[in-house]
Each structure stands twice: as structure tokens, then as C-alpha cells.
Amino acid sequence: MAHSSLTYEVVLGAHDLAVPMGTEQRIPVRSEDIFVHPKWSSFCVACGNDIALLKLSRGAVLQRGVQSGRLPPAGDVLPDEYPCYLSGWGRLSTGGPLPDTLQQALLPVVAHERCTQPDWWGALAVRSTMICAGGGEQSGCNGDSGGPLNCPTADGGWEVHGVASFVSSLGCNAPKKPTVFTRVSAFKDWINEIMSSN
């Protein structure tokens, strides 16, 4: 497989893109250290498998603004209305401006049974390997893709349950069209396999 000549970097600890704090960590990622799920297709986002792992070229320094995310147990499915948060620098509204500062939005989980109703997303658009969240006053929008859906745990911690995947072509905050995320707990075996072999 030919690798692209593009170079990538992960920026950790960023908050305001217009006013860098100087404490951000910029860590290169080699193109061969990007692991896209083998069943992902850019021509069929609704087919699922919208997940990739990046291997940093060196370790991150954990500090106040940089922490590692915990993953949920394999197969874990959150109940309807469970309070989770999306963060990102995506558009503030459909076709709207991109913010300089990191945004966060409370997006309660929409259970699979509800999200797959015909007048919601429907069963063809949302698979069991996905999580729907939001659809009320706040949502994800263009530019949030790949961002984490963080959910609180009983022990006071947080787990990354979702990776932002897509929103409705009707708009970012269309009624009955919550933001759709890749469900991390459905890919735990694949994540473990990639990490252990690389």
C-alpha cells in the first residue's frame, strides 16, 4: 500500500485556536501510523465502521489540559437520555461560523430503539454499532467529526463512548435527527488488536 506524503500532527492542550497558550503539545503522526478500520468506506458513511486510530510518534505529557480518555467496557450500551457531552470546534449552526474556542454541548443519548424509528433516522441509517445523541437544543455540526462523546461514570470519571460521525443533510439541529456517533464499545476488540500489534 502506497503511503501519502502528507504529514500529520496531533495538537494536545489546545483551547483557543486564535490565541495559542504556548503550552500546547504538537506531536507528529506518520502516515503509516494511521489505522483506519478496514470496513470503512467514504462512499457509505451510514455503513458504519467510521473509526480510526492514530499512533503518536512520542508519548504525550499528561497535565491539567491533557488527560487520557477511558474507554467503556466492550458491548456497553447507554440508556435513553443518559447525559453525555460532545466537544469540538465545529460550526456553531448550520452553515454558521467556526468558533475559535473549544465548544461543548450536552447531548443526551437517544436510545437505538427510538433513533431507528421511521420518523427519526430510521433503521437503514443507524446501525447497532452507532450511538445517537442530542437532537434537542444542541447538536454536533460540520467540523465536529471525530470528536469525542464523553459520558460520566458512577465513580466520578468519564468514558469516551462515541466518535462523532455524521449529522443530517437537513441541518445540524434538525428535529428527530440527533448527531450520530460511532459506538466505541462496539469496536473494543478491534482497538485492542491494533494497539497490541502496533
pTM summary value = 0.92
- Co-location of 58 and 125 in the same domain: no
Note whether residue 2 is domain-resident: no
Question: At a CB cut-off of 8 Å and minimum separation 6, what does 23 contact?
Answer: 13, 63, 65
Summarize the confidence of residues 2-31 as an average pLDDT. 85
pLDDT tens per residue, range 30-69: 999 999 999 999 888 888 999 999 999 999 999 988 998 9
- Co-location of 176 and 192 in the same domain: no
Residue 176: what pLDDT? 93
- Co-location of 94 and 182 in the same domain: yes
pLDDT tens per residue, range 83-97: 999 999 999 988 999
Summarize the confidence of residues 179-184 as an average pLDDT. 97
CATH of residue 43: 2.40.10.10
Residue 45: what pLDDT? 82
- Co-location of 125 and 38 in the same domain: no
Note whether residue 141 is domain-resident: yes
Residue 1: what pLDDT? 47
Confidence at 158, pLDDT banded by 50, 70, 90: very high
Domain containing 26 equals: 8-67+188-197
In a 3-state reduction of DSSP, which class is residue 106?
Answer: strand
Question: At a CB cut-off of 8 Å and minimum separation 6, what does 77 contact?
Answer: 112, 183, 185
- Co-location of 165 and 118 in the same domain: yes
pLDDT tens per residue, range 92-148: 988 999 999 999 999 999 999 999 999 999 998 999 999 999 986 788 998 899 999
| Number of alpha carbons in the 13 Å side-chain half-sphere of residue 152 | 9
| Number of alpha carbons in the 13 Å side-chain half-sphere of residue 92 | 8
In a 3-state reduction of DSSP, which class is residue 47?
Answer: helix
- Co-location of 60 and 87 in the same domain: no
